[in-house]
Structure 1
Amino acid sequence: MELLVLYVGFILAAYAVIGNDVIQTLGTFLTSNNKTHWTVLWAYASAILVGTLLYGWCFYNGDVSYDRLDKIPLPETLNWWYLIAPLSLLIITRIGIPVSTTFLILSVFSSQQLIEKMVMKSVYGYALSVVSAFVLYLLIAKLFESKKSIDKLEQSNQKKFWIAAQWGSTAFLWSQWLIQDFANIYVFLPRDLSVWVLVGSIVVILLIMALIFKNRGGKIQEIVNQKVNTRNIRSATIIDLCYGLILFLYGNYNSVPMSTTWTFIGILAGREIAINYLLNNKQLKNSYKLIAKDFAKVNIGLAVSIFIVYVIQLFKTMP
């Protein structure tokens, strides 16, 4: 029974985490390359994933989470109620709510002290993302995000450069996101993976990614598509680079897991405010509505996470 919970938990967590979170990193990539066949995009992302996974496995003594699970040991007994968290995440993802997988999945296995650290790191990450994106786009919006500059890009030879730059920024961001979120995917498996478990897990993850790429992201993708100019390849490149740098500089500051969802929503929020302030005659009403809607969704996810952790704690105390 315990082995069944372990492997079913991993599969459910992998599908739910990737389905919910992958759009943060590959959403703009999928949107701006909508004319490229999904198998090409999938193969590119898969190669980066396998490389990042193998690097962590080799240099962290079999721990593919890059030590993010160091203070989250695998329970001695895995009962069925641990599956409530990934099942709930799966349902929420299908609805289209960008819940924080870090809170929902890892909180079930974590101490209260570590949960508090995860929440604080995520809140600071959100604030840093909003401010950083807002300042950045105040400086570059007129140059890169105006309709005139985008039309000029379409008619120039610069597009090839930006295509290459976007694929490069996607590779950087995708690797940094994986370093943060491998913990959410692999929390059900032993911290020192054997070769066969590693290979099997890679096969499962790549199959899940193929399904998501074939569906072009699914319901969660709407969060990216609703934002200004995200279909433009230059805009997508700048978003990815900004997001990747924050994960690299702030996310790797320590090994405490953090919500990449909150960071992503923060970047889109700061960007949306700056662009509408500079380019749309300070018409911020629609921006605030979108931002409030996204922020409400992630807070609903946090509330659901807390409720599920509470329910599982009740099961733990039952005889």
Structure 2
Amino acid sequence: MSQLEFVMYAGFIFSAYSVIGNDVIQTLGTFLSSNENKKWWVLWIFAASILTAVLVYGWYVNDGDVTYGRLIGDPPGNGFDNPKYLNPADIKSFGWAYLLPPIVLLLITRFGIPVSTSFLILTFFNPKNLYDMVVKSMSGYLVAFATGVLVYLAIAKRFERYFIEHPPTKSQIKLWTVLQWCSTGFLWSQWLIQDFANIYVYLPRQVSGETLVFTLIIFLVLLGYIFYSKGGAIQGIVKAKTNTVDIRSATIIDFSYAIILYFFKELNNVPMSTTWVFLGLLAGRELSIKYFAYGSVPNETLRDLGKDLGKVFFGLVVSIGLVFALKFLTEGAVSF
């Protein structure tokens, strides 16, 4: 195996581990919290089935492009399809420095910081697209925040407060379990379509059948570890929010998040930070529940939401810093 191939596949594996460890909890965190009474492997089979279907379907209908066009850009040619990244034989100046983003992301994840994998990884491959990604991600945060406020303005007092004060009955649990698994499946598929780009950016745009099988196995093993470990450090952010362990609340969160991701998926092919969307929705939800259901927002809640937002901006600063570090390490070999 050449150095080039080693960097490509090592980058993919590091990226897969760090992205799944950091980002999956945005999508499956409420699912894990509200299904803690179920065996981890049952939940894993459900999520693994959807992941397999989305990956294989994308590969089949997009001529080997499992990222659903996210790396092509909008308009095409303005993305991450620089010719030197299209095929292994064409890649130039693709050295050890490109392993930095997923390794740094992996270290940050160990501290439970929900940084944006899109900024940390994709910015390395085309720094010129950083502005478009930031604009779309900030728009995602604002849309998600407004959605959280408006949705819970309508349901906080009548439904969410009722959920908090009245645990679900056995018959309600059966109904809401079906609804939640459907909403989670929809959300999980939309998230995968967005975030496959953050992982497959290390590989050629057209993935071979053998590479598809290899990468699928890597995904399934890593996903199994996430379910076995109950979500890891990032799961603490989800559990800290009001009543996210209630299956009824989790269903509403998942469905709202899925609709927002679907909207931005259809808007254009520019990659975005799903982390910002997730935290924006949780922030809007938390403020609405505290204010409209209980009449005030405690200072502790404001501090908690401020910390979450600060962590996101910290990730953005780190990603920009790493871009300059890469430029220094490669001594101008990569065109910026």
Question: Is 1:122 equivalent to 2:124 in the alignment?
Answer: no
In the other structure, the counterpart of 2:31 is 29
Matches of 2:104 and 2:294, distance apart in 1: 39
Matches of 1:91 and 1:136, distance apart in 2: 35
The letter of the residue matching 2:71 is: L
Matches of 1:245 and 1:253, distance apart in 2: 12
The Cα shift of 1:26 comes to 0.1
Question: Is 1:190 equivalent to 2:198 in the alignment?
Answer: no
- CA separation of 1:123/1:291 partners in 2, compared to 1, >3 Å: closer, same or farther? same
In the other structure, the counterpart of 1:9 is 11
The Cα shift of 1:155 comes to 2.9
Q: Is 94-103 or 280-289 further displaced after alignment?
A: 280-289
- Percent of residue pairs identical: 48
Matches of 1:155 and 1:211, distance apart in 2: 32
Q: In the TM superposition, what whole-angstrom CA distance separates every residue of 1:286-305 from its partner, at most 9, and x where no partner exists? A: 22111101001111111111
Secondary structure of the corresponding residue to residue 157 of structure 1: helix
The letter of the residue matching 1:224 is: V
For structure 1, which runs of at least 5 residues remain unmatched after alignment? none
Matches of 1:66 and 1:175, distance apart in 2: 12
In the other structure, the counterpart of 1:18 is 20
Superposition pairs of residues 1-319 of structure 1, within 5 angstroms: 1-70=3-72, 71-73=79-81, 74=85, 75-112=91-128, 114-146=129-161, 148-152=162-166, 154-155=168-169, 157-317=171-331
The Cα shift of 1:318 comes to 5.2
Secondary structure of the corresponding residue to residue 194 of structure 2: helix
The Cα shift of 1:77 comes to 3.5
Q: Is 275-284 or 11-20 further displaced after alignment?
A: 275-284
Q: In the TM superposition, what whole-angstrom CA distance separates every residue of 1:262-315 from its partner, at most 9, and x where no partner exists? A: 000000000000000022231332221111010011111111111111100112
The letter of the residue matching 1:80 is: W
The Cα shift of 1:156 comes to 5.9
Matches of 1:153 and 1:22, distance apart in 2: 27
- CA separation of 1:257/1:107 partners in 2, compared to 1, >3 Å: closer, same or farther? same
Q: Is the 8 A contact 2:34 2:247 kept in 1?
A: yes
- CA separation of 1:214/1:156 partners in 2, compared to 1, >3 Å: closer, same or farther? closer
- Kindly report the root-mean-square deviation, in angstroms, between the aligned alpha carbons of the 2 structures: 1.3
Matches of 1:103 and 1:280, distance apart in 2: 37
For structure 2, which runs of at least 5 residues remain unmatched after alignment? 73-78, 86-90
Q: Is the 8 A contact 2:127 2:323 kept in 1?
A: no
The Cα shift of 1:209 comes to 0.7
Secondary structure of the corresponding residue to residue 219 of structure 1: coil
The letter of the residue matching 1:61 is: D
The Cα shift of 1:152 comes to 4.0
TM-score normalized by structure 2?
A: 0.92
Matches of 2:63 and 2:34, distance apart in 1: 38
The Cα shift of 1:115 comes to 1.4
Q: Is the 8 A contact 1:251 1:258 kept in 2?
A: no
Secondary structure of the corresponding residue to residue 49 of structure 2: helix
